[in-house]
Amino acid sequence: MKPHIARYALKWLLFFSVVVSIGYAAETEKPKVIMGSSKADVDALLKDWSVSKSNRATISRPIYYYTKDVSVIVYFRDEKANGVAVIDRPGAGVLGIPQARYDELVKLIGEKPKPGDVMQDSSGKREFYVGDINSSAGVGG
pLDDT band at 17 (very low <50, low <70, confident <90, very high): low
Q: Strands of 80-87's sheet, edge to edge?
A: 50-53, 63-67, 71-77, 80-87, 124-131, 118-121
pLDDT band at 18 (very low <50, low <70, confident <90, very high): very low
Read off the pLDDT of residues 45-84 as tens digits, 9 standing for 90 and up: 999 999 999 999 999 999 999 999 999 999 999 999 999 9
Average pLDDT of the chain is 84
Read off the pLDDT of residues 113-135 as tens digits, 9 standing for 90 and up: 999 999 999 888 999 999 999 64
Task: Report if pTM > 0.95.
Answer: no
The answer to whether 45 touches 32, Cβ cutoff 8 Å, is yes
Residue 89, burial from CB neighbour count under 10 angstroms (0-12, 13-18, 19+): middle
The closest of 91, 70, 80 to 39, measured between CA atoms, is 80
Amino acid occupying residue 103: D
